[in-house]
C-alpha cells in the first residue's frame, strides 16, 4: 500500500495541475497548453463521445502493435501521447514489487491526463500494454466502463494471439480485432 501511495504522488500533482487548469479555463483565462501547441492541433469538432478516441496496443518491447485513433488528422499527436504514456506505465509496473508482480492488477487506471485527453493503461502479464485515450470532456465514462473496455480488448487480443497465422510481434491486422476496437471508438462525426 505504501508503494502505491508513493507512485500516486507525482500523479496527484499532475492531476491537481490539470484541475487548476480547468479552473482557470472556467475563469476565462487563456492558458497555454503544454502538449497541444506543438503539434498545433486545435480541438476538433466535439464528438458526442461515449468512447475512446485512441486505442493502442504496445508490444512488450514498447513498439506499437496497433494504434487506431479517431480524428485521423491527429494521428501523430496520439502516437506521441501513447508513447509518452509508456513512461508512466513503466513507472507503475516497476512500483509493484517483484514478488507481487503476479498478483498485480492488470488495469493501471489513469496514467496521466493532458488538458484534452485522459490516458488509461492496462498491462497484461506478458507485458503487452493497452492504452486507451479518452476525451477528457467525456465525464460520463466511469472507471468500470474503462475496465470492461480493457477486458474486452484483452480478450480480443488473446484471440489474435491464438491465430496460428499470426506471428507474435507483427502488427495486428485482424479484422475481428479491428471491429472490436471500432466498436469502442468514437464514430467520427
Residues in contact with other proteins by the rule CB under 8 A: 10, 13-14, 17, 24, 27, 29-32, 34-35, 37-40, 59, 61-64, 75-76, 79-80, 83-88, 90-91, 94
Residue 62 CB, nearest approach to other proteins (Å): 6
Nearest residue (CB) to other proteins, 85 versus 156: 85
Nearest residue (CB) to other proteins, 7 versus 136: 7
Nearest residue (CB) to other proteins, 74 versus 138: 74
Residue 98 CB, nearest approach to other proteins (Å): 15
Residue 76 CB, nearest approach to other proteins (Å): 5
57 CB neighbour count, 10 Å cutoff: 25
Residue 80 CB, nearest approach to other proteins (Å): 6
Amino acid at each position: 500500500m505504501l508503494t502505491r501511495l508513493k507512485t500516486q504522488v507525482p500523479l496527484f500533482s499532475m492531476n491537481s495541475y490539470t484541475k487548476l487548469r480547468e479552473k482557470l479555463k472556467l475563469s476565462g483565462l487563456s492558458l497555454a497548453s503544454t502538449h497541444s501547441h506543438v503539434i498545433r492541433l486545435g480541438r476538433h469538432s466535439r464528438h458526442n463521445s461515449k468512447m475512446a478516441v485512441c486505442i493502442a496496443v504496445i508490444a512488450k518491447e514498447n513498439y506499437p502493435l496497433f494504434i487506431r485513433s479517431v480524428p485521423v488528422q491527429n494521428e501523430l499527436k496520439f502516437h506521441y501521447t501513447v508513447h509518452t504514456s509508456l513512461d508512466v506505465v513503466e513507472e507503475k509496473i516497476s512500483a509493484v514489487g517483484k514478488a507481487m508482480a503476479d498478483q498485480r492488477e492488470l488495469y493501471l487506471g489513469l496514467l496521466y491526463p493532458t488538458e484534452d485527453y485522459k490516458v488509461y493503461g492496462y498491462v497484461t502479464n506478458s507485458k503487452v500494454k493497452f492504452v486507451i485515450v479518452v476525451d477528457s470532456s467525456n465525464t460520463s465514462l466511469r472507471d468500470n466502463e474503462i475496465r470492461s473496455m480493457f477486458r474486452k480488448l484483452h480478450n480480443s487480443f488473446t484471440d489474435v494471439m491464438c491465430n496460428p497465422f499470426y506471428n507474435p510481434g507483427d502488427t495486428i491486422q485482424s479484422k475481428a480485432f479491428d471491429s472490436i476496437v471500432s466498436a469502442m471508438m468514437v464514430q467520427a462525426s
